[in-house]
Structure formats: C-alpha cells, structure tokens
Amino acid sequence: MKHAKQSNNKAQAAPALPPEVRPGQSVELLKELHILTRDGKLNQDSRRKLKQVYHLYNFIEPLLKDVLQEKGQVSLVDHGAGKSYLGFILYDLFFKGLEAGSHIYGIETRAELVQKSTELAARLGFGGMSFLPLSVAESTTSTELPPTLDIVTALHACNTATDDAIDFALKKQAKHMVLVPCCQAEVASVLRKNKGKDLGRSALTEIWRHPIHTREFGSQITNVMRCLQLEAHGYQVTVTELVGWEHSMKNELIVATYKNLPRRRPSERLQEVMTELGLDEMKRRFYIPVTAD
C-alpha cells in the first residue's frame, strides 16, 4: 500500500508538458534539440522555434501522406539541414511509425553538425535517418543517395543553393518540393551589372534603378523565375507567406507538386521575362525542358 502511494506521488510530481508540444512528440528528442529544458520547460526563443517547425510540418504532412498512400513508403531530403530540427520532428511525428523503407536524408556542409545529428539519431533509435556532409550541388551526383526521391525541402537555402535544390529535385524526379528561399543575390548582381545599358531601353528599368530597389526587385524576380521554371517542368506551384517565421524577413514559401501540367506557356513566359529584364545569361540556371508541350 505504501509502495502504491509513493508511485502515485511520483506520477503527480511529473511536470506537465507545455501546451505547445504536440501529443506523441518525444520529450527526449525536444530536450536533445534544446527546445525543452531538462525540466521540460520552454523559453521564449524555443517556443518560437517549435512554433516555426510545427507550422512547416502542417504544410509537409499532407505531402507525406500523399506519397505514402501512393507508394507505401516515402523518402525525403532536407537540404541545408543545419541541426536538423525539421528532419527530427518529421521523423518523430510521422516516419517512426512507418514500415521499413521510408527514409529522411539530411544534407549539410558542416561536418560537425552532420556528426552530431548522426549520433543523436542513433541514440534515439531513428534508424530511418541519415546525414551526409555535402553541398546541395554535390548531393545531386552523390552515390550515397537513391536515384529518385519523393520530397525535397530547402529552408533558407542561401542565394543559389535554392536553385541547386530545385535542380536536385528535378533530376531526382521528386513529386513534391518545399522551398523557403533566402538571400537571392545572383540575379540582382546581373541586373546591377547591366543597369547602364538597360536604363534607356524601357521605362520598366526604373523598377531597379536605385540600389536598394535592385536588391529587392532581384530577390522578387528570382522567385518568380523559380516558379515559372517549376511550372515549365510540369509542376503545380503554390506561393504563400510562411506565417510563424516572425523573426525572418525571408518569409516566402514555395510548394511545388508534380502534376505533368502543360509546359509551353510557362516556358515561353520564363524566356520572355529573362529577355525583357536583360537576364539572358541566367538561362543555364533557370533552364526548361528541351521539349515543352
């Protein structure tokens, strides 16, 4: 009787989890990721971080279910994984209950983060996770990844890394892409370089005459061209604001799903945009299929 009373007291003493934590979420994982403190609490920064990852999970979960229903298993590559917050949360909430064959690959250039993520996955028994110390471009030809993949994510992949992730996804025949672009500087640099000869060509060049506008317009048109490129490869594209990333000015979310849609019009539009804005030299990056129906 005394033993039962002690057990009951221990159960009552267990701290309640913060209401932000989803049911079924591994408390051990959240502590390992330093989202929860050792006594199960959330500070303000961790609360914001958890909210961000959960919000993004809401976009990705339907894509995972779509692939799972179609194929019975699902593979996902997370580019620029960093400490792999997203990958671990996805695995914990969705992948760990699946049959063998489903897998998450984290791609990250910093070897020390890859090592830490590998050790954490082993400690938690997350056998369907692996991490590779590669750039996005290197991963496209790496033999450590399968020839085809289902979902590709790239969150705040800086400058051309987002384009490399799109190239990767196209070559891996990914059905879904989830992209949060960041620091798009390449197109702005081309606009800046050609500004002198373009200024007298059209009144539209006033849009990027001033340096701050060059940067802002370059960022905007980069994402426009990315969307047209995806549509030119048969994808249905949705662009929205990633509500919940309040601390970041880079708040644009691009979700693309392969639907084998007609390619001719977006292909023509992409070519026209690049020609009109003096960006013809970018055609190798924003490439379209050889034949567009």
Which pLDDT score, from 0 to 100, does residue 247 have? Answer: 47
CB 274 within 8 A of CB 282: yes
- The pTM of the full predicted model, rounded to 2 decimals, is 0.89
Task: Please give the C-alpha separations between residue 289 and each of 28, 64, 130, 232, in angstroms, as whole numbers.
Answer: 46, 27, 32, 7
Which pLDDT score, from 0 to 100, does residue 50 have? Answer: 87
123-174 confidence digits (pLDDT tens): 999 999 999 999 999 999 999 999 999 999 998 877 788 999 999 999 999 9
- Identify the segments of the chain with pLDDT beneath 70: 1-15, 196-201, 243-250, 291-293
Measured distance CA(90)–CA(68) in Å, rounded: 14
Q: What are phi and psi of 177, to 5 degrees?
A: -130, 140
Q: What are phi and psi of 155, to 5 degrees?
A: -105, 120
Which pLDDT score, from 0 to 100, does residue 175 have? Answer: 98
Which pLDDT score, from 0 to 100, does residue 293 have? Answer: 62
Q: What is the DSSP code (8-state) at residue 243?
A: T
Q: Nearest CA to 77 among 163, 166, 160, 159?
A: 166
188-204 confidence digits (pLDDT tens): 888 888 876 665 667 78
